[in-house]
Structure 1
Amino acid sequence: MALPNSKESPQPLGRIVMGVKDWIGRLGEVWVDAQVVEIKRRNAPTQFLTLRDRMADISAQVTTTSLVLDSAGPVPEGSRVVARLKARVWERNTSLSFECLELHVAGEGRLLAQLEQLKRKLQAEGLFDPLRKKRLPMLPRVIGLVTGRDSDAERDVLTNIERRWPAAQVRVEHALVQGVNAAESVMTALAKLDGDPHVDVIIIARGGGSMEDLLPFSDEGLVRAVARATTPVVSAIGHEPDTPIVDFVADVRASTPTDAAKRVVPDVAQELGIVDDLRRRLRQAVVGRLDREQRQLDEVRSRPVLVDPTSAFDAHYERLGFLRHRLRTTIESRLRDDQADVARLLAGVRAMSPMRTLERGYAVLVADDHRTVSSVADAATGQRVHAHLSDGELTLDVADITERSRHG
């Protein structure tokens, strides 16, 4: 009921504000359908959200408790929610605020929340760990393909594999890729290919679609089957914005089926180009090495010792001649010295030789019994003695003996 008022009798502002607060309070709790624009989580009991009308450009700031927000489960920004709100007016500044008493993710947002819960569960188990992902073979013997029959994804994969590597072998296992039985069908096809020892890599391919169309590839059973596979698995589901959970557990995620074909086989034209380039570089390296070795060989061959091998002996010949000359000079000098020593010794020996004494007219007397006769006492009259002179020998008979005084 409107309060009476005029220019002459205006109402107090506080009364009007309190009236608005009373009216808002009588509005009570209201369930609203909205979209979550922003969530500001804090390390505090009170949390802040921004909700926006799904049809009109109208938004409101909402407060709630951590308990209410956590009870709603994962609430991705942009998800649709149903919230029980209570409006409040703060009389100090007449601001209008909304308190969220209950929150539920609805529609596609609810589905996104469920998928987010499953994703967090699998991530906590380590199924998304990069360390458990297997490397793709460089050139697989047989490529396994799980896809829908006569689908665009099948044609894209086969066409691009044929174009990139014509010799590649592909084993196709068709499966349902949409509907309630799709996950089970894909799991069956995956098990067949994973059990084939000749299959080196498996592609799971499907074209783009709505989130509901791609739900089978977020099925927990299929995701765990991909994680258990011993053969490397490439996930090629949808297009770049599409991220089913199987993309996180697969060994390699391809943005499209065409991209999957590029990842499992090399481009033969590109590889041939690489081979040609390597051959060219190898040829250049070999030629360069031969050129360097030839230059080094030419340098070695141009050295004087190899141009004239005997030239190295010239200096040795000169030194050898010098040494020979020194040796000859030394020998001759030594011989002269030795000859002089011999001559001097010989002169001394000759000076003391009995022969020199004999040459001066002396004689050596020897009896017949070869005893030296050095005294008249050693001889007797009539005895035969032999006189040895410097140039011969005389045989003498003693006729007379005259003894001479030693002092006479």
Structure 2
Amino acid sequence: MTSTQATAGRPNSADNPWPVRTVAQKVAGWIDRLGTIWVEGQITQINARPGTRTAFLTLRDSSVDMSLSVSCAPQLLQNSELPLHEGSRVVMFGKLTFWPGRGTLQLRVTEIRAVGIGELLARIERLRGLLAAEGLFDPRLKRPLPFLPQRIGLITGRASAAERDVLSVAARRWPAVRFDVRNTTVQGPTAVPQILDALEALDADPNVDVIILARGGGSVEDLLPFSDEALCRAISACTTPVVSAIGHEPDSPLSDHVADLRAATPTDAAKCVVPDAVAEQQLVDELVARSAAALRNWVRREEHVIAQLRDRPVLADPLRALDRRAEEIDRLRQGARRDVTRCIQVEATTVEHLRARLSTLGPAATLARGYAVVQRIVPDGEPEVVRSLEEMPPGTQLRVRVADGASRAAVMGWEK
């Protein structure tokens, strides 16, 4: 047993540390057990010198800042069906190898397959279906753009035509507009990480009201970063509205569907985000004119209504109605006086007739015709009218009333 094997056989601890060679050999053993694998990525560097038996490449992940050293036979690069260059997306088959002497990891490949346009488009379509199923394309999630943003974040290539178009059109439409420009690589293996960093920085800035992601036209491979899954999810997660202006009208990367607004071109993005000062001033002038006309029309209508009210008799001569009512009241009062007088006269006539009848039928008239009323005097009482002889026996004190007075008498006897 070697000393290395003896050291590796004992438990690892602070009192029994492993030497570097033991750790390196263990790592090499673990990696060797991984076996052969398929790896996908983008080629960022190719070093194939003439006359050498090994070519060295760097394979990079298109979504994150991670890379892997690759070695292969130069014939694999020369015999590839599609020309391989920096930025090409490939699928490699090989075995990882750990070199203990240098402490480096390298993928030794025996097969390289370039991903063609058809495969790229098929992958984009599969990703499109996945994102759509997750709801990232839902129109209800789209955030509205501010009418007049105070600051606009712009992610584009350095000194690109897209940058010039956006800045010039925006300045021409609204001279006071301000931009926060972040220049990044817009194609190739380093595009996605740089765009993600710029997007995160602008989204975190509270002064940025909207973000424009702009790039000119290009091939499918050139626009591939804007269909990257990580970028699409980052755009969807932004709290700031994002406008995607990638390529021209026929181009449709996935970022267009995830963004809050898709612009056909960078120039169109500037028009969508920045209002036209001239058009807005014309609109304001038109609204002012319409408001003034509406106000004048309203005043004229109200003046007409007031004139009609003033022409009404009740307002033109307010006392006329009172005078007419006064005359009516006089007529009614005179009529009432006539009616009352007539009623009094009628009732007076009726009373006279009743008086005459009463006088004719009353006892006074009877007495005046020679009759008398005989009353019996009752001690301590009122006299009582005598109606028969039995009520006045002889000696009864009587009171005899005639038309012009009364006298006392006594009953001397009866006669029948």
Same fold (TM over 0.5): yes
What letter corresponds to residue 346 of structure 1 in structure 2?
R
**In structure 1, C-alpha distance between the alignment counterparts of 2:415 and 2:329, rounded to whole Å:** 71
Q: Deviations over 1:30-55 (max 9, x none)?
A: xxxxxxxxxxxxxxxxxxxxxxxxxx
1:216 and 2:216 are equivalent in the alignment: no
How is 1:353-364 mapped onto 2 (pairs within 5 angstroms)? none
**In structure 2, C-alpha distance between the alignment counterparts of 1:175 and 1:219, rounded to whole Å:** 16
Aligned pairs, number: 295
1:258 shift after superposition: 1.7
Tell me what 2:157 maps to.
148
**In structure 1, C-alpha distance between the alignment counterparts of 2:259 and 2:147, rounded to whole Å:** 18
How is 1:174-193 mapped onto 2 (pairs within 5 angstroms)? 174-193=183-202
Tell me what 1:261 maps to.
270
Q: Deviations over 1:48-94 (max 9, x none)?
A: xxxxxxxxxxxxxxxxxxxxxxxxxxxxxxxxxxxxxxxxxxxxxxx
Q: Residues 305, 284 of structure 1: CA spacing in aligned structure 2 closer, same or farther, 3 A cutoff? A: same
1:406 shift after superposition: 4.2
1:245 and 2:262 are equivalent in the alignment: no
Normalised to the residue count of structure 1, the TM-score between the two structures is: 0.60
**In structure 2, C-alpha distance between the alignment counterparts of 1:334 and 1:304, rounded to whole Å:** 40
Tell me what 2:306 maps to.
297
Say which SS state the counterpart of residue 212 (structure 1) adopts. coil
Tell me what 2:320 maps to.
311
**In structure 2, C-alpha distance between the alignment counterparts of 1:297 and 1:105, rounded to whole Å:** 87
Structure 1: give runs of 5+ residues left out of the alignment: 1-103
Contact 2:236 2:259 in 1 (8 A): yes
**In structure 2, C-alpha distance between the alignment counterparts of 1:371 and 1:300, rounded to whole Å:** 84
Q: Residues 117, 358 of structure 1: CA spacing in aligned structure 2 closer, same or farther, 3 A cutoff? A: closer
Structure 2: give runs of 5+ residues left out of the alignment: 1-112, 387-391
1:280 and 2:289 are equivalent in the alignment: yes
Q: Deviations over 1:220-243 (max 9, x none)?
A: 221221122222110112222332
Q: Residues 377, 259 of structure 1: CA spacing in aligned structure 2 closer, same or farther, 3 A cutoff? A: same
Tell me what 2:212 maps to.
203
Q: Deviations over 1:275-323 (max 9, x none)?
A: 1111111111121122122212222221222222233346645654454
Normalised to the residue count of structure 2, the TM-score between the two structures is: 0.59
What letter corresponds to residue 300 of structure 1 in structure 2?
L
Partner residue of 2:346 out of 337, 342, 345: 337
Q: Deviations over 1:361-389 (max 9, x none)?
A: 8999999x997699995569xxxx99998
Identity of aligned residues (%): 46
What letter corresponds to residue 291 of structure 2 in structure 1?
L
1:253 shift after superposition: 1.2
Q: Residues 363, 108 of structure 1: CA spacing in aligned structure 2 closer, same or farther, 3 A cutoff? A: closer
**In structure 2, C-alpha distance between the alignment counterparts of 1:176 and 1:241, rounded to whole Å:** 22
How is 1:43-62 mapped onto 2 (pairs within 5 angstroms)? none
Partner residue of 1:163 out of 164, 172, 175: 172
Q: Residues 389, 106 of structure 1: CA spacing in aligned structure 2 closer, same or farther, 3 A cutoff? A: closer
Q: Residues 223, 142 of structure 1: CA spacing in aligned structure 2 closer, same or farther, 3 A cutoff? A: same
What letter corresponds to residue 337 of structure 2 in structure 1?
R
Contact 1:365 1:372 in 2 (8 A): no
Contact 2:397 2:411 in 1 (8 A): no
Contact 2:174 2:275 in 1 (8 A): yes
1:149 shift after superposition: 2.9
Contact 2:218 2:247 in 1 (8 A): yes
What letter corresponds to residue 312 of structure 1 in structure 2?
A
1:198 shift after superposition: 3.1
Q: CA RMSD in A?
A: 3.8
**In structure 2, C-alpha distance between the alignment counterparts of 1:397 and 1:114, rounded to whole Å:** 155
Contact 1:226 1:233 in 2 (8 A): yes
How is 1:107-146 mapped onto 2 (pairs within 5 angstroms)? 107-146=116-155
Contact 1:365 1:388 in 2 (8 A): no
**In structure 2, C-alpha distance between the alignment counterparts of 1:357 and 1:107, rounded to whole Å:** 154
**In structure 2, C-alpha distance between the alignment counterparts of 1:117 and 1:349, rounded to whole Å:** 129
Contact 1:364 1:372 in 2 (8 A): no
What letter corresponds to residue 290 of structure 2 in structure 1?
R
1:184 shift after superposition: 0.7
Say which SS state the counterpart of residue 205 (structure 1) adopts. strand
Tell me what 1:50 maps to.
none
Moved runs in structure 1, 4+ residues, more than 4 A? 104-107, 313-319, 352-367, 369-380, 385-390, 401-407
**In structure 2, C-alpha distance between the alignment counterparts of 1:379 and 1:120, rounded to whole Å:** 145
Q: Deviations over 1:111-134 (max 9, x none)?
A: 434433433443343333333322
Contact 1:145 1:205 in 2 (8 A): yes
